[in-house]
Amino acid sequence: MGAFIAKMLLPTVSSLVFLPTASVAAKRGFHMEAMVYFFTMFFIAIYHACDGPGLSILCFMRYDILEYFSVYGTALSMWVTLIALGDFDEPQRSSITMFGVLTIAVRIYQDRWGYGIYSGPIGSAVFIITVKWLQKMKQLKAIYPEKSVYTQQVGPGCCFGALALMLRFYFQEWDYAYVHSFYHLSLAVSFVLLLPKKNRYAGTGQKAFKLSWCTLCCCVC
């Protein structure tokens, strides 16, 4: 019985891997991304907790609302991570990010379980980033960004992201608790790998803005 309960709680516990992801993002100066990761972790954890035995007291919203925000948070996390990787200047960065925030909300309201909820944001972000990077390469007449970005961020990050999506859509029926938990882990690792090492808009030294836990927690209130 204990093993069965532990297995039921595994998807809830595994969603906590997004907490260190949010912490890493905050330390790198990506405060908006950190808030999105924390938002995602919160709603995924509560959503899965409502499936667990004896945890219905945690369901402070209707089940379908928790389901919506868990999927929305995941898709939005993918979007903001890829846009951060693109390293856009302002106001392009804010405009592109908000475009994703609005369109993803509408798309997921129409369908929460189709391939398009993730392939749409990923495909759009990859297209936008590719256009920007090709323009930069044409201007500089050299590879952009530097090779280390492709070998240390883009390559490994995309591999873990692809693994996460394969687990989510093709292998989840094998053993839901374990496969879905590994899906959470792979997704969190891909976010950490794809996120740039430093946000150039966050400031440096004493002028660097610090993200407090109070501010972070406000994103789910």
Contact (Cβ atoms closer than 8 angstroms) between residue 187 and residue 74: yes
pLDDT in tens, the chain (221 residues): 445 566 667 888 899 999 999 999 999 999 999 999 999 999 999 998 887 655 666 677 788 899 999 999 999 999 999 999 998 988 899 999 999 999 999 999 988 888 889 999 999 999 999 999 999 999 999 999 999 999 999 999 999 999 999 999 888 778 888 899 999 999 999 999 999 998 887 655 555 556 555 555 555 55
pTM to 2 decimals?
A: 0.88
Q: Is the dihedral of CA 181, 186, 190, 192 positive or negative?
A: positive
Residues 117, 121: Cα–Cα separation, whole Å = 7
Residues 169, 1: Cα–Cα separation, whole Å = 29
Contact (Cβ atoms closer than 8 angstroms) between residue 38 and residue 216: yes
**Omega before 11 within 30 of 0, i.e. cis:** no
Q: How far is CA 143 from the centre of its chain?
A: 27
Q: Is the dihedral of CA 177, 183, 112, 58 positive or negative?
A: positive
Q: Is the dihedral of CA 56, 57, 58, 64 positive or negative?
A: positive
Q: According to the model, what pLDDT value does residue 1 have? A: 44
Per-domain boundaries in the chain: 1-195
Please give the structure tokens belonging to residue 163.
Answer: 């693994």
Nearest to 68 by CA among 57, 78, 76, 80: 76
